[in-house]
Amino acid sequence: MENLKADLSILDLVPVLEDGTPAEAFRNMVDLAKHAEQWGYHRYWLAEHHNLPGTASSATSVIIGHVAAHTHSIRVGSGGVMLPNHAPLAIAEQFGTLESLFPGRIDLGIGRASGTDQSTIRAFRRNLHNDNDFPEQLLELRSYLNPGLGGSLPGVRAVPGEGLNIPIWLLGSSGFSAQLAGQLGLPFAFASQFAPDNLLPALELYRRHFQPVSLDKPHVMIGVNVIVAETDEEANWLATSQEQQFLSILRGEGGKLKPPVDHIDRLWSAEEKAIIRSKMLRYGARGSADTVRNKLSAILKETGADELIVAAPVYDHQARLRSYELLAETMN
């Protein structure tokens, strides 16, 4: 059977289980990262979110360092750091520190969203920045790492950080970051695991506007929800945890990751089911190895993606490990 020609990576939001704690979530995170390294995954990225009881990845640079310290070769990074929440200098110093501690293994994925609600934005920033500031913030950050770009504040240097070769990715769910990534010649990652509607137009924008500055050619990563089990039925059952998570978000509710349920249709309306299934499964897959392989093959043909970054919020940690193990076997 022919290999699917794309790198395979993991996106971890560090889910907190309904009967669990963040400390347990961090232990599961490290265990998954160690296994992912053994199974040949390319990157292990952690996503910045705030004020969500079921997500423990808020202090993103801290847990990147923790994962990197417990692994040996897998690339570790942010998927992403939400730059408007931070001073560009602070991010340059944090990732300069990480790159100095773990040379050649750190990725800096940058997003322009907040990763949270309006009240938490105010708690973070004290005021609301305009998204139009993002290109200037990005230039300032990149200039602290590469002073030749000329966008940093005079007399201010990132130590550590300055002169280090830290790959910067732009992340997005619309055309704005796609076009900007193309113009700057940066790799681009699209959040199709929760915002699939704009994927193909965004990739077309990125490729059309690409300038060979940082890269010789475009490099695309897409987010996918994937759950693999021994049978389609088991995978569909495991996926009800994520479906309940999407349902809570859709209803404006919080909460931790819930166990799977036998009768998910009792929990949602037909309209809610259609919305959630379209977001989860349009660019994602769940089922046996053969089912998942066929769906991912179709996604790669449609998008031309160079890399898949996989989210799999499975409630049972051993079942989550098995899903990623089966996926690695499926892709090779």
Compute the average pLDDT of residues 153-182.
94
Compute the average pLDDT of residues 112-131.
65
**Whether the predicted pLDDT of 159 surpasses 80:** yes
Q: Of 161 and 129, which is predicted with more confidence?
A: 161
Domains and CATH numbers, the chain: 1-166 (3.20.20.30), 219-332 (no CATH)
pLDDT category at 168 given cuts 50, 70, 90 is very high
Which DSSP string corresponds to 258-282?
A: PPP-S-GGGTS-HHHHHHHHHHHHT
- The 10s digit of each residue's pLDDT in 269-283 is 999 999 988 876 788
Tell me the percentage of the chain whose pLDDT exceeds 90.
78
Length of the chain: 332
- The 10s digit of each residue's pLDDT in 124-151 is 765 555 556 899 999 999 999 999 998 8
pLDDT attached to residue 194: 83
What is the crossing angle of helices 60-69 and 22-38, to 10°?
A: 50
Compute the average pLDDT of residues 237-259.
91
- The 10s digit of each residue's pLDDT in 7-60 is 999 999 999 999 999 999 999 999 999 999 999 999 999 999 998 899 999 999
Query: Among positive and negative, which fits the CA dihedral 251, 18, 43, 96?
Result: positive
pLDDT category at 116 given cuts 50, 70, 90 is low
pLDDT attached to residue 3: 53
130 SS3 class: coil
pTM given for the model = 0.94
